[in-house]
Structure 1
């Protein structure tokens, strides 16, 4: 039963949510009934007030039979309304209330989020977050940051609504936004901001890293990586925030001297400690991918073999988690065996059962090959 009937330019009435999804996703934007062309812009949909009143009257007449009332739908959000709210962000006295309104609209439904994304709200949130990055009224900054981060994450994460090419142009080679997020995460290590803000900031950091031009990312300072590693260390943060920190470090490994800086920031020790806590499968996979990257450099391997649980924890996870973990674990052992195979390391591999586990892998692979050949 329709709750918000709207009529297209072809004269056919549909439920608003259904036809909007069709207009958004259909390869050929045509009317499902008449097959005539339709504009993708949902602003060309006209509310069918007569049909809606008839449906509501029928619901009222059948309320005794358990039929629920259908509320009168809200007027759809328009680009003009959103753009007015974006302009209000420029006035400090309206900032709090405007951010609240935008946040409520973003939470309400997907249509609002699409409208907000096309009206420039993500770019406006980047501006608000960057503006907060300066000494001043900490209460105001924290409030603005939390709202702006939540709005940006809602828009960026929902059905890829944010145009990464547009965000790339907005962020460009200017690292102000990245520095703002780093500042927020740095405050959480000093307990100067709520955990909820850091939980919002780290996923946004991951999305920003994917959108920012890679050239300046190869010249980030050691302090940046220390902050990201501190997020990985903080068990009060959400799993999503910790996963985002791992994604960021993996993304950065291939750029400039970042791999060495990540090692210097103490990431290897923290990764081993994280695996010892037996995290969920996808976290373990990310840890092993990153650990394999870091063990490809001498300092990373040295930290790994010097950790009392390093070789043991990698050995124990082989054949227990996933093929991805097996592949990265074998790569780690390959690097250690090729470049760091001291007597102490060999003895440790024997002591913790790493050699036995490698034999089990050989046996499993041999059985697979044997079966494939029809044995």
Structure 2
């Protein structure tokens, strides 16, 4: 195939590919729209990639002359397999977005159509996402979700109704927008909006529950302590169901991160335990092979085992101690450390004769001895040594510990 010599000024300075929609920034440099928008909006940069000058405004001016030159060049080289680049549609602007929102507010029967139009714009480019947020669409989207969420507490609404479909569309847009911290803080301060998301966790379809979980994780990441300690028990019950149902991989991880974010605050550990989190997490851990997910689950269990109720739930599960012990030295240094921390909490505060005997029988004590012989982190080895010393009178002479491991058993 004949090599095609593309004029240098037809190539985007960022991607070095033929520009399809050339636009010029305030420094006078021309880029392909998709590349520069990714640089500015997805990567959160505020400089010109070539000159390194700060761009005070993200205005992108279409370079029609260059675009027509590129189109002509494509036509002249069509025999070499070059397809003519179509004339791009003009990008959406703030005025258009405001008009769409106003129309939906004035004529409720057009709301679903307006939401679908917004969603179409949003999926076209990162610039459109920023434009939609700047036009105040987030308030409109949140109100749409609240309207459906409040209806769920009053009457059973059909999932196929216009109100439910509008809520699904609004949730989808909020999920994809990559909201700024200022808007996330505004949403977390809106108790009605947070309550509506919880109702959607309870009554929504799988997709809505997934979107709601990820949005909740995002807003609680920037929440003030007063919001973190005041989360209602119902919230933890529904998040536990999201974990149990595994509505999506992203929502599953978001739910784990959400629990990890909330558990250290106030009585949230107890609320999570009462919401059924511990047995669900243990069941998930039994068959989990993904390293990162195992670490997250062990992290959450470590948090929950810092309260008596959490330790009791783990010990009541027939596989609780066994699966935590099994994950030591099988996941990662982080996983091993969290698993040993869980056993530390149990051995310090819940070490009944039955528990100590169970740890021998399931191999937890032998695993702790093994930790002292392998390349585990210093803190993990110190915790293992502390546990073994704490109950050496009961464990040291046990036939459950292999002789090769007994030789490293720490002296009291």
Please tell me the root mean square deviation across aligned C-alpha atoms, in Å.
2.5
Identify the residue that residue 142 of structure 1 maps to in structure 2. 164
* Number of corresponding residues: 354
Partner of 2:211, secondary structure, is helix
Correspondences of 1:238-253 after superposition (within 5 Å): 238-253=248-263
Contact 1:29 1:40 in 2 (8 A): no
Identify the residue that residue 218 of structure 1 maps to in structure 2. 229
Identify the residue that residue 265 of structure 1 maps to in structure 2. 275
Q: Does 1:99 align with 2:115?
A: yes
Q: Does 1:131 align with 2:144?
A: no
Aligned counterpart for 1:274 among listed residues 284, 287, 294: 284
Alpha-carbon distance in structure 2 between the residues aligned to 1:117 and 1:82: 9
Alpha-carbon distance in structure 1 between the residues aligned to 2:187 and 2:234: 24
Q: Which runs of 5+ in 2 are unaligned?
A: 1-17, 380-412
Aligned counterpart for 1:288 among listed residues 275, 298, 302: 298
Q: Does 1:46 align with 2:65?
A: no
1:51, CA displacement in angstroms?
2.2
Q: Which runs of 5+ in 1 are unaligned?
A: 157-161, 188-192, 370-375
**1:152 to 1:52, Cα distance in 2 relative to 1, 3 A:** same
Alpha-carbon distance in structure 2 between the residues aligned to 1:70 and 1:141: 41
Identify the residue that residue 186 of structure 2 maps to in structure 1. 169
Alpha-carbon distance in structure 1 between the residues aligned to 2:376 and 2:205: 53
Alpha-carbon distance in structure 1 between the residues aligned to 2:146 and 2:44: 37
Q: Does 1:56 align with 2:67?
A: no
Identify the residue that residue 357 of structure 2 maps to in structure 1. 347
**1:170 to 1:307, Cα distance in 2 relative to 1, 3 A:** closer
1:50, CA displacement in angstroms?
2.4
Contact 2:184 2:222 in 1 (8 A): yes
Partner of 2:374, secondary structure, is helix
Alpha-carbon distance in structure 2 between the residues aligned to 1:102 and 1:79: 12
Correspondences of 1:1-375 after superposition (within 5 Å): 1-8=18-25, 11-20=28-37, 29=47, 32=50, 38-42=55-59, 45-90=60-105, 91-135=107-151, 138=158, 139-156=161-178, 162-172=179-189, 174-187=190-203, 193-235=204-246, 237-365=247-375
Alpha-carbon distance in structure 1 between the residues aligned to 2:71 and 2:312: 72
TM-score by length of 1: 0.86
Partner of 1:227, secondary structure, is helix
Contact 1:146 1:197 in 2 (8 A): yes
Alpha-carbon distance in structure 2 between the residues aligned to 1:241 and 1:310: 24
Identify the residue that residue 396 of structure 2 maps to in structure 1. none
Partner of 1:364, secondary structure, is coil
Alpha-carbon distance in structure 2 between the residues aligned to 1:197 and 1:244: 14
Alpha-carbon distance in structure 2 between the residues aligned to 1:256 and 1:329: 23
